[in-house]
Every structure is written in structure tokens, then in C-alpha cells.
Structure 1
Amino acid sequence: MTKINEIARDGNFKRQINNFKTPFGDEPDELLVEANRYRLLWAPVCPWAHRSIIVRRLLGLEEVISLGTADPLRPNLDHIDWAFTLDEDEQDPVLGIHYISEAYLKADPDYTGRPTVPAVVDITTGKVVNNDYHELTYYWETTWKKFHKAGSPDLFPKHLRTEIRALNDVIYQDINNGVYKAGFARSQEAYEAAYDGVFARLDELEERLANQRYLFGDQLTDSDVRLYVTLARFDIAYNTAFRVNRNRIKDYKNLWGYARDLYQTPGFGDTTDFEAIKLHYFISTTIDTKTTVSKILPKGPDIADWLSPHGREKLNKK
């Protein structure tokens, strides 16, 4: 593993691409959909990983896809990694690895990128087989459908798939990754462009949510999961650590009510670890092996308000 450069010459943050993109399916060249064959590796701090965990919980896939949880604090190494220091003997109890990079290198001994989460590992080989967070929740929602629990929500309904994908791309570019483009920018121009993009899109979504409970009306979808993971981290981390400080989510009437509504929905709040998020973003967030955001852990904010009444259910048309 070596340090990679994700900062362009103009100071813009350019996130690395995902290398393990084999889809799940029934074709010979696809990943077999099989209960108890895969282990999902994540860190509660990571929004890309968190959304795969929320969907896994909402659909009842916990019974067929096991979970390995990395420490929110990155290990002190000469490369960026995640470690299983929360587990007994500091090893993942199923895979027997200390660092997530071990599963990446087992899959590709020449892999030089950051070992990211979420990572789906084939337990039979110990190799990472998919780390494509752009597509992973879609697989949970479609090709893994035979394992969904009774009464689980249809997060990716056929009649909305084109619209959901289009909105998800906008959410990713301007909000999910937008906060990172602001936080990791290395020029004033790059920072301000990302900052403006984040708040322009939040303002737009604030209006969209004025008269409907979710992003697509009364129906909870994959898009809500993807927006939620950034909203949950915004006030507690991004607003200050990444300097996206024009507004807090609490300053938006509709977005704040919407975020609380989701937080109070099983699968969202019960998978949200605010303390882990703070630890990571203020103590060990890095884009290289020499840079940290801060060494002071903020005492606040008070998260009790996440459980306050939101009244969003009154917007349901049904």
C-alpha cells in the first residue's frame, strides 16, 4: 500500500475510483447471491458504508450478510487503513484480519489505492469482491430481493428507478461528496466552489421537502438513505471540520424535520453513532498519511434534539 494523491493541481479533491465492481447476479461472471457467504465491512463514521448498513437493516438482510466493524480511529501507519481494534484480539472474528487492507491485498496483491468501506468480502476466500458504494445498495434492493424480510419497504421501485438514480447522482456530486470537496480542498477557489454547490443543493432540497414527507412523496426510497447519511454528519462534523458553515441542518425547517423523521425510523438512528463520527472527523480524518483535521474533540453539539417531535407524518397524502 502506498499513499495516493487525490488532490488535483488546481486544489480540487478528486476521490479515487472503486476497483472492485463485479455485480451480484445470476450470470456466470457475476457474484453469487448466497446467504452467509459474504461479510460486509464498515466503519460507522463513513457515510458510504452507513447507507449500505441502513438498507441492510431495513430489508432484513442482517440474517444473511454478516457485519464486521472497524475502529473509527485510523491506525498509525505509513498508509491509510482501517483496523479491527474493537474486536477481541484486535482481529475480525470471521475473517481473522487486523487491517481491512489485508482483504484488499488478498484480492489484488498489486492494489495501491485506499482500502475503503463498505467492502464486501467473500468469506470462502477472504477476498474483497465488491467495494462499489455507488451500486451496493441497489444490489441489496434488487438482486438480493429473495432474502428480504416480509413487509420490508421497496426502496428502489421499478417505476422510479431512473428518477432515483438521477437524483442520487445529484445528491452525491453536490452534497455527499460536495462536503468532502470543500473540506479537502487545497485552494480557496476549489473550496468556495464546493461550498456554494453544497448550499445551493441543500436550499433546493429544503423547498422540495416543504410539502412532501420524503424525496419521492410518501414513499421512502434509496434517495432518502443517501441524503440522510450526510445530514446526520453535517452539524456534528462537516459544518465545522469541513468549513461548510453557512447554515447548520438545524437552521433548515424542512430538512431538519426530515432528518429527525428518518433518525427516528428503525434502521436509521439505531445505526447512527454520533460519538464515532466525532472521533473520526476531528481526530483522525485524513486524505494522506500526514494530515489530520484536528486533535481536539468537540464537546458538543447536544444530540438530544434528534428525538424531538418532527410532525412530518402529517405530510403523507395517503
Structure 2
Amino acid sequence: MREGQFIKRNLDRWRSYQEPTDDPDEIARHFTYLVDDLSYAKTFYPKSNTIRYINSMAANIYLSIYKNKKEKSNRFVTFWTTELPLAVRRNHRILLYAFLFFLSFILIGVFSAYLDQTFVRAVLGDSYVDMTEQNIANGHPFNVYAGENEFVMFLYIAFNNIRVAFLTYFFGITAGLGTVYLLFKNGLMVGVFEYMFFHHNLGFRSVLVIFVHGTLELSSIVIAGAGGLMLGNAMLFPKTYTRMQSLKAAAKDSVKIMISLIPIFIVAAFFEGFVTRHTDMPVWLSLAILILSASFITWYYVIYPIKVSKRNAQTV
């Protein structure tokens, strides 16, 4: 590559690095990319002023890191209160896309089951549908949640949900196609599953029972899907970075987001193993758990990241 082309390709990015930021991950990324650019320039343009320009920017970032470096004993706290919300905020658009994908797939499941009753069996399987219809006929439509030991069910559900979420995330490496497929598969099942109860006039009751744990569980699948789409987006649209640089940056943010889902899945599994089985609990209690769960997800993954981002911008 000619030096002029190299400069033209990277100049806008270099200039963006001169804008102040208080995000340690962003600063680290800038420094890493500048070191890569400096190495490239030294190799192909050893006597160029470009080397001095890049080296000057890298030196300034290096000094800013170590001049203000403080050993933080509360890194665990800052991860949850600052680092993670900023990572979420940088990817709010992708999170919205994941939500819209999942919601669309749920509606496809509902509409398909409405048009063709056999579609329910095709998706959920004959044995599961027969068992559910037998439970409905016996007056215990949600007896499937009370069939196992609470603790065993809790462990199995937690493991399975974490496995599904991380598969949804890791398949983002297929340029996002694998992630979209798993969102489609899970969304379709949710839509068909809910239609089955609405078809038997148990829709409202199913929401009160199933979404005691389902609010956190399904929200986490959407967020895991966003993590996978982040990887796919980085591969397809690296912008001014190389694909590897773009993928590394997306991986750092998405891994943080995936870590945040583990405690949420554990709480969801606790609800499903120990709480959902009590299908005769008061309506107000079911609604309280459902609303609190939805409020937490909305606040922590939508509202709070915006507030942290604005506060961070004001302090720069």
C-alpha cells in the first residue's frame, strides 16, 4: 500500500483518537491500534513523517494512562456500575435489532399456529403437546413445572439456559447467521407455546405463571442474541478498522455483556424451580415479580447505560 493511501485510509480514525474519552477500554483500544499502525509504518515507510505523527499520538495516550493510573480496590463495583453499562450503551442499536428479531419470530410462531393447528405439534413435538393437553384436561395445565425436585430442576434449568445463551452468542462468529437462527428457533417455540394456552382460554393465566421466570429468561436470550450480532456486525462492517481489530473490540464488549447474564439466568432458574411451580399463588404476587423483572431489565440495559454515558461525557 502506498503511503498516501495508508494515510488517507486511517487519518479520520487517528483524528478521532485525539478527542478526549474517559472510557479505559476505548483508550486501550486506541493505543493498541496505534501500535499496530506504527509497526506497519516503520516496516513500509521507515523514513516517513507518518511514523513521528503516529508515535506522538501513541506516546500521549501512553502517558495519559500511566499519569492518572490508580489501583482500584473496587474494580468489581466499577465493572457493574460503569464498564458494563458503557459497553451496553455502545451497542444499544444492536440490542434493539435483537429484540425486534425475537419479537418478530414470536409473532411468526403465533400466526403460524393460528393458521395451522398441526404446526404446534411440529414445533413442540407430539409427546409434549399430549402431556400438556392431558394436564389441561386434568385441571392442572402447568403441572410440568411441578414434576421434579426443586433443587434438581433449578440446577438443570440454570445450566440449560446458560448453555443456550452462550451458543446463541458464539454462533455470532458465523457473521451473525447462527445467532439469528437460534433467535428464530427460540422465538418460534415461545410463540407456539403461548398460542397453545391462549387457544385453550388460558392465555392470561399462562402469562402470570410462565413469565414469573420467563421475563428474565427471554430477556437474557435477547441480550445474548445482541452479543452474537455484535460479533457478526464487527465481521461484516469493520468500518476503518481491520476485521480482526473490529472483532477484538466487539468481543471485549460482548463478553462483558455475556458475563452480566449469568446471575440473571441463575435468578430465572430459581424462579422456575422454586416459584413457578406454585401456580395458585396470588395474582398480585405474580404480577409483582413479572413487573419487577421487566423493570430491572429495562432500567439496567436501557435507561441506566444512557445515564452513565451522559455522566461520563460530562466529566471528560
Q: TM-score range by the shorter chain?
A: under 0.3
Q: Larger % of strand: which?
A: 1
Q: Larger % of helix: which?
A: 2
TM-score by structure 1 length? 0.28
Larger Rg: 2
TM-score by structure 2 length? 0.28
